[in-house]
Amino acid sequence: MNHPLKGKRALVTGGSRGIGAAIVKRLAREGADVALTYVSKPDEAGKTVDAAKALGVRALAVQADAASAEAVVAAVERTAKEFGGLDILVNNAGIALMAPIDTFSLKDFDRTFAVNVRAVFVAIQAAVKHMKEGGRVITIGSCNADRMPVVGSAVYGMSKAALAGLVQGLSRDLGPRGITINNVQPGPVDTDLNPASGEFAESLKKLMALPRYGHVDEIAAMVAYLAGPEAGFVTGASLMIDGGFTA
């Protein structure tokens, strides 16, 4: 089996389930040692860690709420200490709080940006201190940065649009160090929080060129490409993987 990431050390935030868990397992399958963060479900985190270990790599779960800058930094530092360094950071943790403008609370606005934007910046700032040439930073954004057809989702869409700008700008900071940074923007993906069946799912499928939800493994495959040696000339990009939702 080909292991293009053998010897690499990765951290995936929000990696206990859904897209994050798929990314953890894909990076492990390609040979990387992988740490993940989770907030409140240690059993799910443990299952993902066990699945990664079964692929012959080291794996670690770290409890950390992305809303806490201190917890995010501590997770990065623990990963680097346990693995002896850090080569790949995948910022996957995120939340989606929805409400119309008249009722969207400032508390929810602040938490959205703390988790979806500030935590990404904090994790990158902490992680790149441990990265050498060839390091990879990948954020998981959303196609909603470019298209938002759902009422009450403006703040979520704005937070994901902020990631595109952050990644584009940081490519200039990190490029001279030989570190790439890119933003993956998934469309509707089948997860526990956004199932591929039901009235809401059917309404989204009507907006897509491919009238189906994506699979978590499809997102993980793009992340693995960006984390690997073949993507060494890709940086500052926001890559859409949305079934034509924004086409």
C-alpha 173/C-alpha 169 separation (Å) is 7
Q: Is 225 a catalytic residue?
A: no
Options 38, 156, 213, 225, the catalytic residue: 156
Catalytic (active-site) positions: 156
